[in-house]
Every structure is written in structure tokens, then in C-alpha cells.
Amino acid sequence: MTPEQIADLQFYRRNTRFSDQEKAVIRFADRVTRGAATIREHDLSELRKFLDEDQIVELTLLVCVANFTNRFNDALEATPDLGD
């Protein structure tokens, strides 16, 4: 993502800086983060327009790992080492 896209992330739905594929990926990542149990077939159908099944699995795993890491660090009040 570009610095401009990061700055505009909360407005991605109506922002022309994001492609339809990027919007679908962001929407899915948000749904996984906020309530994975609420994801339905139409959510996956939207992703299938842009990603194959392996890519959807990889995206889901990546979102889950990021969420796990954030919760782990928050629970322990740990500051991640982002390197030099």
C-alpha cells in the first residue's frame, strides 16, 4: 500500500486510490477481524472474483496471525520489535 492509501484506509470504500480487488481484500480482512463467524458465502464469492482458493486461505491465515499477534502484544503490554 502507498502512504496515501494508508492515510485514506478508513475511507477505502469510496476512494479511487483503491482498486476493486484491494477493496474486496480490505473488506474481507475487516470482516475476519471484527467477526469471522459472520462471514457468509457472498463474502467469499466477492473475493473469488480476484483470488483463487489458495490465495483466500493465505489471506485468511495472514489476517488471523496479525490479529493473534496484536491481541498477544496488547494482553502483555508488549511493544513489538520492528527491527532497525
pLDDT tens string 16-67: 889 999 999 999 999 999 998 989 999 899 999 999 999 999 999 999 999 9
pTM: 0.83
- CATH code linked to domain 3-75: 1.20.1290.10
Per-residue CA distances from 49 to 20, 26, 37, 45 (Å): 10, 14, 22, 7
| Chain centre to alpha carbon of residue 81 | 22
Domain ranges of the chain: 3-75
